Chains A and B, each alone.
Chain A
Amino acid sequence: QKEVEQNSGPLSVPEGAIASLNCTYSDRGSQSFFWYRQYSGKSPELIMFIYSNGDKEDGRFTAQLNKASQYVSLLIRDSQPSDSATYLCAVFMDSNYQLIWGAGTKLIIKP
């Protein structure tokens, strides 16, 4: 059973619209959640992290966490072609100090 699930996509969104990326996780005790962006041929880079239920905003990015339903999402407002990338969700496991990774969602922003 995969511990972190993401829809692989591709998710196609028109430029200027809101892109919504979702992630579910299995460990109810997880406390910390991360979103990474990975451009093709490049390494992942951290764009958002969230620890508490609710929303966390950073510029055009909003992370949303619902621990009761065990999902975390990433919203990208005013999507730009430069947002086209694969977005990886990761959940921190307190038991072994490791991040458990989803397989990633490929996002395509169409001009």
Chain B
Amino acid sequence: DVKVTQSSRYLVKRTGEKVFLECVQDMDHENMFWYRQDPGLGLRLIYFSYDVKMKEKGDIPEGYSVSREKKERFSLILESASTNQTSMYLCASSTVSYGYTFGSGTRLTVV
């Protein structure tokens, strides 16, 4: 089975901190995605990547950046955390023509 592992299940950070969310997949998938999910707003795409060192902005990239130095790892960076970035963050990976596999999610609270 494909495994997508997110480094933290719960995270509490202070406003202004730089936050790193790590995601690792073990099935050699080309594509990786970062979403946030908030009640009533559904899944919103932050960034995605189709290859190493490649990144594309999703629908809500402001306040975030990403890094993909290795194929299996896709990191989401909150440059200066703010309270409106409190959310559930979901990482997913996929091959070209199949559905996504999600990690277990990171519930981030910014105080």
Contact = CB atoms under 8 A, between A and B. Distances in A.
Contacts of A92: 97, 99
Contacts of B103: 43
Interface in B42-98: 42-43, 45, 48, 50, 90, 94, 96-98
Contact of A99 (B41, B99, B105, B107): B99
Interface residues of B, number: 21
Which 5 residue pairs spanning A and B have beta carbons closest together? A43-B102, A103-B42, A34-B99, A43-B105, A101-B43
Interface of B: 31, 33, 41-43, 45, 48, 50, 90, 94, 96-105, 107
Interface of A: 32, 34, 36, 41-46, 49, 88, 90, 92, 97-99, 101-104
Given A43-B90, A102-B42, 13 more contacts: A41-B107, A42-B104, A42-B105, A43-B103, A44-B43, A44-B100, A44-B102, A45-B102, A46-B100, A49-B99, A88-B43, A98-B48, A103-B42
